[in-house]
Amino acid sequence: MEIKLENKKRSGPVLFSEYKRGDGIRKAVELGRENILFELKNSGLKGRGGAGFPTSTKWMLSAAANADKKFIVCNADEGEPGTFKDRVLLLEYPELVFDGMVIAGFTIGAQTGIVYLRGEYEYMLQPLEDYLAKVREDNLLGKNILGKENFDFDISIRLGSGAYVCGEETALIESLEGCRGEPRNRPPYPVNTGYLGYPTVVNNVETLASVSHIVLKGGEWFKKYGTDKSTGSKLFSVSGDCEKPGVYELPWGTKIKELLEIVGAKNTKAVQAGGASGTCIPKTQFDRMLGYEDAATGGSIIIFNESRNMLKVLKNFMEFFIEESCGQCTPCRIGNIKLMDGIEKIESGEFTFSYINNLKELGRTMQVASKCGLGQSSPNSFISILENFKEEILNTNWKGKENV
């Protein structure tokens, strides 16, 4: 596999708009740190990895931190079920991602960038390394970038080894440090105490790609798209029951039913926004719009049509969490098992309503008491699917209906 430079075959308002390799970096040098941070703040860009933390704040905090070394980490651990936009960006638009990293390094004063690429994407490793080698030749990476004195930045790629939880930024850092991918206590936050104890910015692939455009074209331009609270556009990875699954760039604020229209989904019963950690949105709520303020998602959109059995869907999600929990904290390690027990009890028809309510309560505890986002969001689908499909799930006699 080879990555071709400047090979545009997609179109979209922001991310898939015109961009030439190095343009963002050139502009960044021209603007200077202060102005970059201003443009970023003005753009209202929020993290695309799922948590939605304002990128400018993250960068400012680490720019302000006093340390002899700093790190930029590109989170390419894309593991959320139904998400594959980062793969597309890395393979087809690597210039956006890597330019974004260089700009980040320039802004906060870091000289080292690390891409944490999930082990499942090992087949991308060589093409990406080749790409980086080419960029180094063009002096867009390495020492004295673009001839600017002391503007040094280089990028290395490190592989994961098959653990979804390593996408969580502090688990990712633990993994980079050669440890089990167990999320850390926060505070201290990585912007102060990250990789090897140094200030570290962890950003999603798409966040960094957006930065390249914003720096080149300005915060105002970016803000033209999207809503007040969710500015710009977003890549949606669409899969499930539709005619045209794939990656779509749409402005934030797009309604779910509009999206369903675009991808050719028919007879849709429900949409899972945000992957297994997200929430399940039933037909009656398809008027809701995609955005941080309403139906938030890191990009994953999974579509279910009328023929799908929602309990089976839920079971698939819970299996995912049980397999991927790191297991260090009590609510998540044992809680997910209990939720699964509940699902099995429903399947076998042995549940009581009060036990299911107990489990929903337990889910709420997990949401607030788990150590990291995994345990905090694993009950989301349990709660939302059981609420929204109560009729379908609890009032059916499941015995002997294993594979409806």
- List 312, 333, 338, 360, residue binding ligand SF4 (CB under 6 A): 333
Which residues, at least 6 apart from 283, have a Cβ–Cβ distance to it below 8 Å?
268, 269, 270
Nearest to 223 by CA among 214, 213, 215, 231: 231
- List 47, 94, 240, 298, residue binding another protein (CB under 8 A): 240
**204 belongs to the binding site for another protein (CB under 8 A):** no
Angle among Cα 378, 358, 334 to the nearest 5 degrees reads 45
104-140 core/surface letters (b: 16 or more CB in 10 A; e: else): bbbbbebbbbbbbbbeebeebeebbeebbeebeeeeb
- List 301, 332, 339, 386, residue binding ligand SF4 (CB under 6 A): 332
User: At 179, which amino acid appears?
Assistant: C
What is the rounded distance in angstroms from the CA atom of residue 207 to the CA atom of residue 50?
Answer: 10
Nearer residue to ligand SF4 within complex by CB, 108 or 165: 165
**163 belongs to the binding site for ligand SF4 (CB under 6 A):** no
Q: CB 226 → ligand SF4: shortest distance, Å?
A: 30
Helix axes of 205-217 and 85-92: crossing angle, nearest 10 degrees: 60
- List 6, 11, 123, 243, residue binding another protein (CB under 8 A): 123
Q: CB 100 → ligand FMN: shortest distance, Å?
A: 10
What is the rounded distance in angstroms from the CA atom of residue 143 to the CA atom of residue 251?
Answer: 37
**210 belongs to the binding site for ligand SF4 (CB under 6 A):** no
Tokens of 216: 């080149």
What is the rounded distance in angstroms from the CA atom of residue 141 to the CA atom of residue 123?
Answer: 23
Under rule CB under 8 A, which residues in 266-285 are in contact with another protein? Answer: 272, 276
DSSP conformational letter for 147: G
Nearest to 167 by CA among 254, 271, 81: 81
- Contact segment (CB under 8 A) with another protein among 9-17, 29-37, 73-81, 393-401 equals 73-81
**Enclosing H/E stretch for 189:** none
Per-position x/- string for 340-359, each x denoting binding to another protein as judged by CB under 8 A, each - no binding: -x----------------x-
3-class secondary structure, 299: coil
- Contact segment (CB under 8 A) with another protein among 8-16, 103-111, 192-200, 288-296 equals 192-200
Chosen from another protein, ligand FMN, ligand SF4, none, partner binding at 90 (C-beta under 5 to 8 Å by type): none
Chosen from another protein, ligand SF4, ligand FMN, none, partner binding at 169 (C-beta under 5 to 8 Å by type): ligand FMN
What is the rounded distance in angstroms from the CA atom of residue 110 to the CA atom of residue 114?
Answer: 11
Under rule CB under 6 A, which residues in 235-274 are in contact with ligand SF4? Answer: none
Binding site for ligand FMN (CB under 6 A): 47-51, 53, 75, 77-80, 165, 167-169, 202-204, 207, 372-374
Under rule CB under 6 A, which residues in 311-330 are in contact with ligand SF4? Answer: 325-329
Chosen from ligand SF4, ligand FMN, another protein, none, partner binding at 47 (C-beta under 5 to 8 Å by type): ligand FMN
252-283 core/surface letters (b: 16 or more CB in 10 A; e: else): bbbebbebbeebebeebbbbbbbbbbbbbbbe
Nearer residue to another protein within complex by CB, 188 or 349: 188
**379 belongs to the binding site for another protein (CB under 8 A):** no
**238 belongs to the binding site for another protein (CB under 8 A):** yes
Give me the residues that bind ligand SF4 (CB under 6 A), please: 165, 183, 325-329, 332-333, 370-372, 374-375
